[in-house]
């Protein structure tokens, strides 16, 4: 696995610092990336990894520090500078035009290199073959799956002669088989003498493919591990978080026998051969939190939307106590007692340009206190919003402020308060503390635990292990739309969870 | 070198939506064949219709010539729309820019000569494009609102300018310009006469073809020819050059384009300017070829019909030409023996509806299929009950056609992915 | 300062900025054309005589209804460019119904108004249905419907019309005296009457405000206009809202031609006023979709139209210059509001930051 290490690092970052108003994103970062290696950068959400990579790619300028590429100091004012220095970036959110072919996407902006016709096509096939990317130039990007699109992004970068490739959370949207393919490609790149920088917070994956690992915490480098075989995921996690893995809740169990939500044979066809949800059946009892673990893109979002009635093509039965909601509209399901904390609060949970009291009404337009017989009672809505602001510690000058002006944590607290105020029977919490500051996160966890104690059933979707293990009474792992493993949070190991989530050991 | 053994299939483990090609008959290499086949079949169908219904004017050379003149401004306006939307900017202001063009043709044509009129039309159209570009690209105004504003401004401006400049001139006034000198036309004498004889013989398909060819070599305006040439040039520029690729990428994914170093704002701005120029030229054709001076209200909504033709053509020049041809043809029929010709077309619509309905039923969409067949039967009834379609309904034929096309084809259309998006520089990544 | 006062002042500031900019640009055009700028503004900006004042108020009433119709659709992020076609076909139907006089007196009037609202709603509903079920852009479909409306009305006018004696124009049967809406005078002399329909217009404005801000339906409508995704997640049916909004918009549009019909011409003829739909778009934008704002916008536009009438005779300048001003206002208004809005949001974020007590942990990084 190791090539003779050249003296000069492919990329050397020294003393990199970057501030945003009110936030220190990067502080005195020092990293050396050697040629012919895969170098991983790990850290929690919000540790500063993405900012660092944007600096390396010229999208942001650092406030302090230097960047050296192959021994020469460079100043990156724009992606064009980075490309000239031989640095290529594969973004987390692919930058591809669906309606154009692979060829067109690759040559865009680099038409001078090999033209836009036969020569370019030839070059693409060459690169694709030498790195086993398996990319066809004349396919429409729209027809490609996620893994293939990522390979197109890699090819884009190679086409422009990059010798250093940065991948930002590349496995976030891949299913396990695609992850394996990707790592195979990365090893191929490394063997050709490229330097691969890989940002991730998936410790198992990082350990399986990286030659060197740099841990970042709170914007600064903690350490660089040069021999990954000497550390475990747990060690890495400790370095990342600064403490041990979360303990499961030691509170007395509140789970009862009464079934509140019963889902039978829930299925949702996809656009291809593989269904998005594949015959799911499960129950949630009064006082129980069911946690759904899984790599993003395996059906969690679809599961939530199907239960909320937002997916027309879903089949199967959904019963809330004894009401059959299988063909009910979203409004009816909400009114029957489902509260919903959406994954993307800006798109699904809030009206950003409306005041908080109107956001209180959102999703509850059919019921008091906000609405009586079709008329909106502004005073009652404001009163109730004040109550929520108080009970859920939403930091805001008043209920008339626009939702947009609140921080993510406070927005989320408002949403939690609103959904709980509807006296739900079932609470669906999808990634409830994503993008939320630590203080608000603790508060929200408390509220969810309170809900459980008061007899709700909670469906919790999360990618945060802390959250899943700390809150759930039972964990189900979802993979390719199917449940593949049931675990007890108090004695599950990260390895067991990780294996189930990645399908290792199960039929791939 | 270790190579994984599984990564040989190009498409990943999760295949994307399959079989889209069938839904997009107008794109790609296969698209071009469909176009040609469609044209040939369409022409043959018209010929059949002519023989069956006896509506001779359906395919006479006079009709075809008039159709060419009628489709020109629509096509040019549609080209303007295409250039702008391919770069991601919706241009509802085509109508206003066309109005500016008619004025430009009138003023510069009268004052400085025919070709100056053409340049003047393009220039004034581009001024309209400049306003739209500044508002949408620089200031981020919603594209529709800006377009509507341009239409209001252009109308007022042109009326204001007309009363300022044309009053007191011979043949001119507040609502029209004096006569504009004409542009040259092309006529190939002997060919024209020979074809004319062939046409008069009323032979199935042969005579119709003769009419078509005759129209192309008799009194064909240079401007119409230029328009068609510009259409081909647009195709070439947009799909075969680096410039065109970059421009189209701005309309498909501006953030991807920007991340690769494309000056997105500049391309959008330029595309809208070009769009205005085309619309202006369309106005020029109206003022100088379809008639011989500027007249208030000359455009009659052709800017919008041009947009509809662009939609019909799925944002591609070939389809745009077909759409313009359809609308131009309907308009021409309306002006000539209107009533009988449109009545004949009703039969065609009825047949199409019945066939379409049967196809829908075969595809298990029985409700839609039944409705479509019902419509077909109704239309056929109308055909048999009336002698000719009243004038007003003929006038509205192009608009109804647009609505029908939109209603039935909307879901198969493939608009540029970022069309209408208000893009802020620096949103890449 | 309270946030409400601040946002009101900001809105006012934006409008004033827009108007000043529009006037400046118009003046520029005049200068380039060589027309006397000073005299033009001098003529326009004089206080109108009573006769002109009445005209202004009457025209403003009509424009107000047009702006209201457009605003309803705007609140749902829909562009109803078809107000023009909707009001003409609605006014025509109303004229025919009122002319037939199946019911006596004001019952007849009420029936006619109802007919107008229903027809206008249906005409707009076609576009709404196409949008909700087939995804057809309502921009193009309403424009097409405008043209179709012209032809349909022309055809049926020929069938239903009665030729007035000694006149060349074709028109519907005159509305009987008992069904006309009386005007009231605001001064002495002829031509100082204001259409009685102004009360109905005011009622429409109130209904607009009430339904949008106080009812659940209005809440749903505004929510869908702000964020379709949030609306869906909250249980709102976007399809129903789309169709509903277009129906209401068309219904209001149906009222646009009625002040003139019931207060002045008493029949629908081939020379019935057209073009009021586009002005409505400008006015709705200027008034920011607010019922009072739209009223002010309508008054402004009517003022400009009226005061520019004598420009040709008195100063030798075509009154169309004002159309340029109106169009430019649309652009300057939107730009100005956007700039002011961004400023306002920044102010509010600063206020919120103060209220949010400082926490030990670093805030979430916008990585």
Question: Does B419 map to a domain?
Answer: no
Q: What is the pLDDT of residue A18?
A: 85
Residue B295 has a CB neighbour count (10 Å cut-off) of 16
Q: What is the pLDDT of residue A465?
A: 74
Would you list the DSSP string of A203-268?
HHHHHHH-SEEEEEETTEEEEEES-GGG--HHHHHHHHHSSPPPPPP-SPP---S-EEEEEEEEEE
Q: What is the pLDDT of residue B16?
A: 28
Residue holding tokens 């508060």?
A: A443
Q: Which range, of A322-326, C110-114, C173-177, averages the lowest pLDDT? A: C173-177
Residue A77 has a CB neighbour count (10 Å cut-off) of 10
Which range, B6-20, B147-161, B414-428, C342-356, has the best average confidence (pLDDT)? B147-161
CA nearest to A270 within chain B: B17
CA nearest to C146 within chain B: B399
Q: What is the pLDDT of residue B55?
A: 66
Closest Cα in chain A, distance from residue C215 (Å): 4
Q: Which of B7, B16, B249 sits opposite A185 (nearest CB)?
A: B7
DSSP H/E element including A11: strand A11-20
Q: What is the pLDDT of residue C135?
A: 84
CA nearest to B139 within chain C: C335
* Average pLDDT of span B94-117: 94
Query: Does the pLDDT at position B8 exceed 60?
Result: no
How many structural domains compose chain B? 1
Q: Which domain holds residue B117?
A: 57-336+388-412
Q: Which of C4, C355, C365 sits opposite A397 (nearest CB)?
A: C355
Closest Cα in chain A, distance from residue C341 (Å): 11
Contact at CB, A109 and B13, closer than 8 angstroms? no
Q: Where are the domains of chain A?
A: 11-241, 259-502
Which of B287, B286, B391, B374 lies closest to B336 in space, CA to CA? B391
Closest Cα in chain B, distance from residue A433 (Å): 24
Question: Does B273 map to a domain?
Answer: yes
CA nearest to C349 within chain A: A405
Cβ contacts of B382-389, under 8 Å, gap ≥ 24: B382/B346, B383/B343, B383/B346, B383/B347, B383/B350, B386/B343, B387/B339, B387/B340, B387/B343, B388/B338, B388/B339, B388/B340, B388/B342, B388/B343, B389/B338, B389/B339, B389/B342, B389/B343, B389/B346
Query: Does the pLDDT at position B7 exceed 50?
Result: no
Backbone angles phi, psi at B140, to 5 degrees: 70, 25
Both tokens of residue B251?
A: 């309309």
Do residues B79 and B281 lie in contact, with contact meaning Cβ atoms separated by under 8 Å?
Answer: no
Helix (H, G, I), strand (E, B) or coil at A354: coil
CA nearest to A48 within chain C: C367
Q: Please name every residue paired with A224 in a beta bridge, in sequence order, or none if there are none.
A: A214
Helix (H, G, I), strand (E, B) or coil at B245: helix
Q: What is the pLDDT of residue C166?
A: 55
The model's pLDDT over C312-367, given as tens digits with 9 standing for 90+, comes to 788 778 888 888 888 898 899 888 888 887 787 777 777 776 765 454 444 444 43
Question: What's the length of chain C?
Answer: 367
pTM: 0.82
Both tokens of residue B211?
A: 């009419």
C274 has a chain B CB within 8 A of its CB: no
Contact at CB, B416 and A273, closer than 8 angstroms? no
Contact at CB, B139 and C335, closer than 8 angstroms? yes
ipTM value, please give it. Answer: 0.84
Distance of CA B406 to the CA centre of its chain: 14
The model's pLDDT over B39-64, given as tens digits with 9 standing for 90+, comes to 777 777 777 777 777 666 677 777 88
Q: What is the pLDDT of residue A196?
A: 93
Contacts of A15 (CB under 8 A, 6+ apart): A28, A29, A30, A64, A65, A66
B402 has a chain C CB within 8 A of its CB: yes
Do residues A60 and A19 lie in contact, with contact meaning Cβ atoms separated by under 8 Å?
Answer: no
Q: Do β-strands A457-461 and A426-430 pair in parallel, antiparallel, or remain unpaired?
A: parallel
Do residues A242 and A216 lie in contact, with contact meaning Cβ atoms separated by under 8 Å?
Answer: no
Helix (H, G, I), strand (E, B) or coil at B95: helix
Contact at CB, A352 and C226, closer than 8 angstroms? yes
Which of B410, A259, B224 lies closest to C132 in space, CA to CA? B410
Superfamily of domain A11-241: P-loop containing nucleotide triphosphate hydrolases (3.40.50.300)
Cα–Cα distance, C362 to B24 (Å, whole number): 51
Contact at CB, B262 and A109, closer than 8 angstroms? yes
Enumerate neighbours of C (3 or more CB pairs within 8 A).
A, B
B429 CB neighbours in chain A (<8 A) are 54, 57, 59, 91, 93, 95
Cα–Cα distance, B287 to B296 (Å, whole number): 10
Query: Does the pLDDT at position B11 exceed 80?
Result: no
* Average pLDDT of span C85-111: 88
Superfamily of domain A259-502: P-loop containing nucleotide triphosphate hydrolases (3.40.50.300)
Question: Does B174 map to a domain?
Answer: yes
Q: Which range, of A103-107, B121-125, C202-206, C270-274, averages the lowest pLDDT? A: C270-274
Q: Which of B149, B301, B307 sits opposite C327 (nearest CB)?
A: B149
The model's pLDDT over C14-63, given as tens digits with 9 standing for 90+, comes to 888 888 999 999 888 888 888 888 888 887 888 877 778 888 999 999 99
User: pLDDT by residue for chain A (508 residues), tens digit each?
Assistant: 455 555 788 888 888 888 876 566 788 888 888 889 999 988 766 567 778 888 888 878 888 888 888 888 888 888 788 888 889 888 878 889 999 999 999 999 888 888 888 999 999 999 999 888 888 999 999 888 888 899 999 999 999 988 999 998 888 777 667 788 889 989 988 888 899 998 886 777 888 888 998 888 777 777 787 777 787 766 766 666 554 445 555 567 778 888 999 999 999 988 767 788 989 999 999 999 999 987 767 788 899 999 999 988 899 999 998 889 988 999 999 999 999 999 888 889 999 989 999 999 998 887 777 778 788 888 888 999 999 999 888 888 888 888 888 888 889 999 999 998 888 999 999 999 887 777 788 888 889 988 888 889 999 998 777 788 888 999 998 888 889 889 888 887 766 776 777 665 443 3
Question: Does B301 map to a domain?
Answer: yes
Residue A263 has a CB neighbour count (10 Å cut-off) of 20
Preceding amide of A369 cis, omega within 30? yes
Tell me which fold the domain C54-314 belongs to.
Answer: ABC transporter involved in vitamin B12 uptake, BtuC (1.10.3470)
Which position has the higher pLDDT, C218 or B358? C218
Contact at CB, A109 and B261, closer than 8 angstroms? yes
Contact at CB, A185 and B12, closer than 8 angstroms? no
Do residues B271 and B80 lie in contact, with contact meaning Cβ atoms separated by under 8 Å?
Answer: no
Q: Do β-strands A371-372 and A289-293 pair in parallel, antiparallel, or remain unpaired?
A: unpaired
Residue to test with chain A: of B4, B11, B13, most A Cβ within 10 A: B13
Q: What is the pLDDT of residue B92?
A: 92
Cα–Cα distance, C285 to C278 (Å, whole number): 11
Contact at CB, A54 and B429, closer than 8 angstroms? yes
Contact at CB, B429 and A59, closer than 8 angstroms? yes
CA nearest to B154 within chain C: C324
For chain A, how long is the longest CA-to-CA vector?
A: 77
CATH of the domain at B214: 1.10.3470
Which range, A177-191, C165-179, C243-257, has the best average confidence (pLDDT)? C243-257
**A194 to A224, A257, A410: CA distances (angstroms):** 20, 58, 44
């Amino acid at each position: 696995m190791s090539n003779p290490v050249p003296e000069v690092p492919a990329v050397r970052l020294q003393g990199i610092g970057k501030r945003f108003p009110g936030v220190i994103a990067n502080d005195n970062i020092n990293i050396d990336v050697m040629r012919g290696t895969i170098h991983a950068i790990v850290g929690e959400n919000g540790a500063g990894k993405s900012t660092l990579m944007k600096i390396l790619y010229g999208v942001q300028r650092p406030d302090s520090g230097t960047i050296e590429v192959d021994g020469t100091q460079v100043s990156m004012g724009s992606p064009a500078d980075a490309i000239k220095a031989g640095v290529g970036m594969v973004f987390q959110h692919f930058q591809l035009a669906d309606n154009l072919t692979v060829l067109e996407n690759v040559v865009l902006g680099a038409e001078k290199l090999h033209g836009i016709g036969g020569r370019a096509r030839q070059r693409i096939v060459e690169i694709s073959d030498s790195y086993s990317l398996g990319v066809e130039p004349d396919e429409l990007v729209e027809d490609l799956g996620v893994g293939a699109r990522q390979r197109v992004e890699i090819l884009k970068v190679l086409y422009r002669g990059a010798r250093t490739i940065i991948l930002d959370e590349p496995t976030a949207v891949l299913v396990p088989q695609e992850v394996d393919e990707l790592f195979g490609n990365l090893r191929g790149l490394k063997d050709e003498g490229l330097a691969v920088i890989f940002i991730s917070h998936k410790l198992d994956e990082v350990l399986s493919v990286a030659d060197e690992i740099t841990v970042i915490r709170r914007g600064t480098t903690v350490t660089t591990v040069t021999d990954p075989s000497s550390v475990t995921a747990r060690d890495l996690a400790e370095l990342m978080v600064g403490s041990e893995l979360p303990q499961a809740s030691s509170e007395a169990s509140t789970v009862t026998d009464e079934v509140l939500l019963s889902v039978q044979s829930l299925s949702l066809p996809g656009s291809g051969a593989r269904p998005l949800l594949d015959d799911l059946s499960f129950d949630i009892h009064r006082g129980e939190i069911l946690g759904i673990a899984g790599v993003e893109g395996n059906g969690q979002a679809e599961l939530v939307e199907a239960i909320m009635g937002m997916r027309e093509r879903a089949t199967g039965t959904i019963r809330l106590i004894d009401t059959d909601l299988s063909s009910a509209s979203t409004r009816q399901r909400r009114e029957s007692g489902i509260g919903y904390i959406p994954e993307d609060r800006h798109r699904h949970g809030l009206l950003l340009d409306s005041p908080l009291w109107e956001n209180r009404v959102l999703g509850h337009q059919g019921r008091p206190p906000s609405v009586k017989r079709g008329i909106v009672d502004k005073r009652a809505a404001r009163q109730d919003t004040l109550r929520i602001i108080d009970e859920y510690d939403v930091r805001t000058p008043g209920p008339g402020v626009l939702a947009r002006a609140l921080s993510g944590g406070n927005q989320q607290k408002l949403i939690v308060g609103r959904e709980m105020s509807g006296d739900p029977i079932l609470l669906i919490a999808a990634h409830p503390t994503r993008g939320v500051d630590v203080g608000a996160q603790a508060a929200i966890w408390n509220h969810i635990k309170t809900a459980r104690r008061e007899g709700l059933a909670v469906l919790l979707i999360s990618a945060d292990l802390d959250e899943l293990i700390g809150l759930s009474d039972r964990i189900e792992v979802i993979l390719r739309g199917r449940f593949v493993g049931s675990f007890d949070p108090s004695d599950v190991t990260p390895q067991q969870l990780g294996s189930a989530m990645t399908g290792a050991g199960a039929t791939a | 070198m270790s190579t994984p053994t599984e990564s040989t299939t190009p498409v990943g483990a999760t295949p994307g939506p399959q079989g889209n090609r069938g839904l997009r008959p107008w794109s790609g290499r296969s698209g071009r064949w469909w176009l040609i086949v469609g044209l040939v079949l369409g022409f043959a169908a018209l010929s059949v219709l002519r023989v069956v219904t006896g509506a001779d004017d359906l395919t006479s050379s006079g009709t075809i010539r008039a159709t060419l003149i009628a489709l020109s401004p629509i096509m040019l306006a549609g080209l303007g729309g295409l250039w702008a939307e391919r770069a991601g900017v919706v241009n509802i202001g085509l109508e206003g820019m066309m109005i500016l063009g008619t004025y430009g043709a009138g003023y510069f044509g009268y004052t400085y000569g025919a070709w100056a009129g053409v340049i003047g039309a393009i220039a004034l159209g581009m001024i309209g494009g400049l306003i739209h570009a500044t508002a949408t690209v620089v200031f981020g105004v919603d594209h529709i609102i800006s377009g509507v504003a341009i239409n209001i401004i252009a109308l007022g401006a042109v009326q204001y300018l007309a009363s300022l400049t044309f009053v007191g001139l011979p043949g001119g006034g507040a609502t029209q310009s004096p006569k504009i000198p004409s542009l040259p036309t092309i006529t190939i004498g002997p060919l024209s006469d020979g074809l004319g004889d062939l046409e008069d013989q009323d032979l199935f398909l042969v005579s119709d073809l003769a009419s078509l060819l005759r129209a192309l070599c008799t009194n064909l305006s240079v401007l119409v020819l230029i328009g068609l040439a510009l259409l081909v040039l647009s195709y070439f520029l947009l799909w075969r050059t680096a410039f065109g690729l970059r421009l189209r990428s701005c309309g498909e994914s501006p953030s991807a384009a920007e991340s690769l170093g494309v000056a997105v704002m500049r391309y959008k701005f330029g595309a809208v300017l070009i769009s205005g120029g085309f619309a202006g030229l369309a106005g020029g054709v109206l003022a100088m070829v379809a008639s011989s001076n500027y007249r208030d209200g000359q455009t009659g909504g052709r800017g919008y019909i041009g947009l509809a033709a662009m939609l019909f053509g799925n944002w591609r020049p070939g389809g745009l030409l077909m759409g313009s041809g359809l609308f131009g043809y309907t308009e021409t029929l309306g002006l000539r023996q209107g009533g009988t010709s449109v009545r004949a077309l009703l039969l065609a619509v009825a047949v199409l509806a019945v066939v379409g309905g049967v196809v829908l039923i075969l595809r298990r969409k029985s409700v839609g299929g039944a409705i479509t067949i019902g419509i077909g039967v109704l239309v056929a009834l109308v055909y048999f009950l009336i002698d000719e379609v009243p004038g007003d309904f003929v006038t509205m034929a192009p608009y109804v056609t647009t609505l029908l096309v939109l209603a039935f084809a909307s879901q198969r259309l493939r608009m540029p992915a970022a069309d209408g998006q208000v893009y802020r520089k620096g949103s890449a990544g | 300062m309270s946030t409400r006062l601040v946002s009101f002042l900001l809105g006012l500031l934006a409008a004033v900025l827009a108007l000043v900019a529009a006037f400046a640009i118009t003046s520029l055009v005049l200068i380039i054309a060589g027309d006397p700028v000073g005299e033009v503004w001098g003529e326009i900006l004089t206080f109108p005589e009573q006769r002109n004042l009445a005209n202004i108020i009457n025209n403003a009433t009509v424009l107000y209804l047009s702006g209201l119709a457009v605003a309803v659709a705007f609140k749902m992020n829909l562009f109803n460019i078809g107000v023009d076609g909707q009001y003409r076909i609605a006014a025509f139907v109303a004229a025919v119904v009122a002319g037939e006089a199946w019911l006596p007196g004001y019952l007849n009037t009420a029936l006619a108004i109802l007919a107008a609202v229903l027809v206008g709603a249906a005409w707009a509903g076609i576009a709404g249905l196409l949008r909700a079920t087939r995804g057809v852009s309502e921009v193009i479909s309403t424009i097409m419907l405008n043209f179709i409306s012209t032809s349909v009305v022309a055809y049926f006018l020929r069938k239903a019309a009665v030729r007035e004696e000694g006149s060349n124009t074709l028109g519907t049967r005159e509305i009987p005296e008992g069904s006309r809406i009386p005007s009231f005078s605001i001064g002495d002399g002829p031509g100082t009457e204001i259409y009685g329909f102004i009360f109905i217009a005011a009622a429409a404005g109130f209904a607009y405000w009430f339904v949008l801000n106080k009812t659940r339906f209005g809440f749903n409508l505004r929510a869908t206009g702000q964020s379709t995704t949030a609306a869906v997640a909250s249980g709102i049916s976007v399809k129903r809202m789309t169709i509903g909004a277009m129906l209401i918009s068309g219904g209001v549009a149906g009222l646009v031609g009625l002040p003139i019909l019931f207060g002045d011409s008493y029949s629908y003829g081939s020379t019935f006023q057209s073009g009021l739909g586009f002005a409505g778009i400008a006015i709705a934008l200027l008034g920011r979709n607010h019922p009072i704002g739209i009223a002010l916008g309508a008054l402004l536009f009517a003022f400009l139209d009226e005061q520019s009438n004598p420009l040709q005779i008195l100063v030798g300048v075509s009154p169309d210059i004002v159309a340029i001003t109106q169009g430019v206002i649309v652009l300057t208004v939107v730009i100005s509001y956007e700039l002011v809005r961004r400023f306002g949001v920044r102010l509010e974020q600063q206020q919120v930051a103060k209220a949010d007590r400082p926490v030990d942990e670093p805030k979430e990084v916008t990585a």
